Homo-oligomer: A and B are copies of this chain.
Amino acid sequence: MDKSLYACDSCQHKLCAGRVSLFTSLDTDQLLQVIKLIVHKEYKKGELLLFEGEVRNDLVIVNKGQVKAFRNTIDGREQILYIFSEGDFFGEKNLLRDQPSNYAVEALEETHVCIIHKNDFQKLVKEYPDIGLKVMEVLCQRLDRLENAVETMGTRTVGARVSSVLLEFADKFGKQSPQGIIIDLPLSREGIANYIGLTRETVSRKMSSMQDQGLIEMIGNKKVLLLNRTALEKSIE
């Protein structure tokens, strides 16, 4: 994939908005109209796109890069709720009423976003009801993911938690290769731990033992090769 195609420079002229599932129902002219409403912004790794509790009145669409949405918990941990990648959006609650955000959002790498004001977006939804349906669809997907997460977090065995996050990342970030699925991990060990409510040491230990069992193979710290997907799925039980 040539990332440069998605750079914000080309956005302004090509139809970057068309790549976002929200707007797939629109034709070229309509997309051009949408693009006029969009403000672009770029963030470096580690920069905050949104503070926990901040009140905003726009919708943010990730156009390039990755961000994490997280909360600082009362017991001093960081609970990661979502990883948003290209095409994902956040701030949808702002469309309904002005509410403080439940989570902070931080760039995991160089990230470019498209920002659209609540009023403009609401007009779009009224004009093109399909966009509203798309939003609803994404919200339902997000519910699915959180329902799974609640189940995972309630699971008492560490193995099941780590397996489920690897399988989730395999679906979202994995690439098929001759040996198996290669996963580009969006998070560090500590990040993974904060995603599933464990400590980094426990995640580290479990991944090592999975490697010993021949289920996965670690390639540096940022990649994992999933050798035997079905065995990993079974190991959850």
Contacts and interface: CB of A to CB of B under 8 A. Distances in A.
Give the most central of A103, A135, A136, A142: most B CB within 10 Å: A136
Interface in A133-148: 133, 135-137, 139-140, 142-144, 146-147
What copy number does this chain have within its complex? Answer: 2
Contacts of A150: 79, 81, 146, 149-150, 153
Interface string A101-112: 011000000000
Contact of A81 (B92, B147, B157, B160): B147
B73 A154 contact: yes
B75 A237 contact: yes
A74 interface: yes
A: interface residue count bin: 35 or more
A136 B132 contact: yes
A64 interface: no
Given A93-B140, A137-B96, A75 B160 contact: yes
Contact of A139 (B133, B140, B154, B197): B140
Given A136-B96, A147-B102, A153 B74 contact: no
A154 B41 CA distance: 33
A140 B96 contact: yes
A236 interface: yes
Contacts of A129: 126, 129
A71 B135 contact: no
B133 A136 contact: no
A151 interface: yes
20 contacts: A71-B151, A74-B236, A75-B157, A75-B237, A77-B155, A81-B147, A81-B150, A96-B136, A96-B140, A102-B147, A136-B136, A136-B139, A143-B146, A146-B147, A146-B149, A150-B150, A153-B154, A153-B197, A154-B197, A155-B197
Interface of A: 71, 73-75, 77, 79, 81, 92-93, 95-96, 102-103, 126, 129, 132-133, 135-137, 139-140, 142-144, 146-147, 149-151, 153-157, 160, 196-197, 236-237
